[in-house]
Amino acid sequence: MFLSNNFSLPATTIAELYKQRWQVELFFKWIKQNLRIKTFYGTSENAVKAQIWITVSVYPLVAIMKKRLKIEASLYTILQVLSVTIFERMPSLQTLTREDYKAKVETKSKQLLLFD
């Protein structure tokens, strides 16, 4: 049974509106649990949308990074580490793995030298 004070709409429309509202609630629950949005920094519709889209864009990028770099940590842990070390001058691979990072330096340069 659904209760509503809108008597002009048919019961099926009211039920469909509740169903859509529940999908929105589930979406925000998923965002809070997986994307780590605790608060919205703006109150306008544009600010909320921008923050959600940025977060939704970062999530798959971190998942791709996890897969390509073969990082064993969970996505949640990776996001935590990145949020803490974002301004550190350290390669991300070094912060996310136990291995010591060594930059690959090519010994033979293909670039012409300007000065001897």
pLDDT of 107 reads 61
What separation in angstroms does the CA of 89 have from each of 3, 24, 76, 95, 109?
57, 39, 22, 10, 26
The residue ranges of every structural domain in the chain are: 11-88
pLDDT of 24 reads 83
Per DSSP, 55 falls in state H
pLDDT of 26 reads 87
pLDDT of 34 reads 73
Q: How many residues does the chain have?
A: 116
pLDDT of 64 reads 92
pLDDT of 81 reads 84
pLDDT mean by block of 10 residues, the chain; 116 residues? 75 85 83 76 91 87 89 85 78 68 60 72
